[in-house]
């Protein structure tokens, strides 16, 4: 973390506190096509598609160097998961679809069935079980991890179980998931209430504490991610498979980075720049 003389960390702009923000985050050249495709899909499945949600920009940054289809698929999943958080009563129907049942009339179920039918058949039992288990625990802290789990089907890659279960891989996904979850909480205004709320942890002070946590976890994410290439090399996956796995690891950095950029774009947090 970079510092300024005679300045506390909270007085320093977020871009200066995080090395990850030192260079501009690239945007997918077809972001407008991603937006149009998500709106069309949401209307077809019955979901609300509000361009102001900016899912196309999040996806466009997270998968800026990939094809439009990859970024669009992620944007559709992001639209669905955001809607599912607003309608937790739809979760049992979604889980039933994941288990092989037919979707009911609820738009969330139909949208999930569409995405599940696109992604799940190409993935192994390990990924399907992991993703469904994550859905079945709809706590706020799990939102970021669910998005990171989607990097594999969006990229068409399944990371081998020994890598998934390694300490360094888990450290990367847990830190990245936390950054996404906290940034999303700041953007939506749905911050968890501290167990012992005091005058010092209310209002802007409470937001400052969350931003401090985002900074800490982003630095921890980059430290953990630096250990992944040698870890992948030791598993002797072969050149092509190793490259694919590294693409997933890179997504663990770009997805949180996309959320950080979204945070800085938000009118509520422009003072952080």
The Cβ-side half-sphere exposure at 100, using a 13 Å CA radius, reads 1
Q: What pLDDT was estimated at residue 211?
A: 83
pLDDT at 236: 86
Report which of 24, 22, 20, 32 is spatially closest to residue 59, judged by C-alpha positions: 32
pLDDT given at position 196: 43
Cα separations (Å) of 187 from 20, 60, 180, 269?
19, 18, 10, 9
Query: What's the chain's length in residues?
Result: 273
Integer CA distances (angstroms), 260 to 16, 62, 160, 186, 273, in order: 13, 11, 29, 10, 11
Give the containing element (helix H, strand E) for 38.
helix 31-45
Q: Strand locations in 105-180, DSSP E?
A: none
Contact at 8 Å (CB) between 140 and 192?
yes
Dihedral sign (CA 126, 153, 155, 52): negative
Q: Residues near 202 by Cβ (< 8 Å), separated by ≥ 6?
A: none
Q: In 156-272, which ranges are continuous DSSP H helix?
A: 161-164, 167-188, 203-225, 228-234, 239-265
pLDDT of residue 50: 65
Q: How far is CA 206 from the centre of its chain?
A: 23
**216: burial class by Cβ within 10 Å (0-12, 13-18, 19+)?**
middle
| Structure letter (DSSP) for residue 194 | P
Give, in order, the Cα–Cα distances in Å from 82 to each of 37, 156, 181: 17, 22, 12
**pLDDT tens over the chain, length 273 residues:** 444 444 455 556 777 777 767 777 899 999 999 999 999 999 999 987 665 568 999 999 999 999 999 999 999 999 999 889 888 899 999 999 999 999 999 999 999 999 999 999 999 999 999 999 999 886 776 889 999 999 999 999 999 999 999 999 999 999 999 999 988 888 877 775 444 445 545 556 677 788 888 889 989 999 999 999 999 989 888 999 999 999 999 999 999 999 988 888 876 666 565
Q: Say how many C-beta atoms besides its own lie within 10 A of residue 133's C-beta.
A: 11
- Asked if residues 224 and 171 have their Cβ atoms less than 8 Å apart, the reply is yes
- pTM (2 decimals)? 0.88
Q: Whole-angstrom Cα distance, residue 83 to residue 49?
A: 10
Close Cβ partners of 172 (under 8 Å, ≥ 6 residues apart):
221, 224, 225, 228, 249, 252
């Amino acid at each position: 973390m970079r510092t300024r003389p005679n300045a506390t960390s909270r007085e320093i702009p977020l871009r200066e506190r995080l090395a990850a923000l030192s260079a501009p985050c690239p945007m997918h050249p077809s972001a407008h096509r991603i937006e149009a495709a998500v709106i069309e899909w949401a209307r077809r499945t019955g979901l609300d598609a509000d361009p102001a949600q900016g899912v196309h920009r999040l996806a466009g940054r997270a998968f800026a160097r990939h094809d439009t289809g990859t970024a669009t698929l992620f944007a559709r999943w992001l639209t669905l998961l955001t809607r599912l958080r607003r309608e937790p009563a739809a979760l049992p129907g979604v889980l039933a679809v994941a288990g092989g049942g037919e979707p009911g009339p609820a738009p969330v179920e139909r949208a999930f069935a569409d995405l599940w039918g696109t992604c799940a058949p190409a993935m192994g039992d390990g990924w399907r079980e992991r993703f469904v288990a994550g859905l079945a625990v709809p706590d706020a802290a799990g939102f970021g991890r669910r998005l990171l789990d989607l990097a594999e089907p969006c990229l068409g890659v399944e990371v081998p179980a020994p890598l998934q279960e390694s300490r360094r891989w888990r450290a990367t996904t847990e830190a990245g998931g936390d950054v996404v979850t906290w940034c999303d909480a700041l953007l939506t205004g749905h911050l968890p209430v501290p167990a012992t709320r005091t005058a010092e942890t209310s209002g802007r002070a409470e937001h400052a504490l969350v931003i401090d946590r985002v900074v800490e976890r982003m630095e921890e994410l980059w430290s953990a991610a630096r250990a992944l290439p040698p870890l992948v090399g030791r598993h002797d996956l072969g050149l092509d498979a190793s490259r694919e796995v590294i693409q997933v690891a890179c997504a663990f950095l770009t997805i949180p980075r996309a959320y950080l950029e979204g945070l800085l774009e938000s009118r509520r947090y422009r003072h952080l720049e």
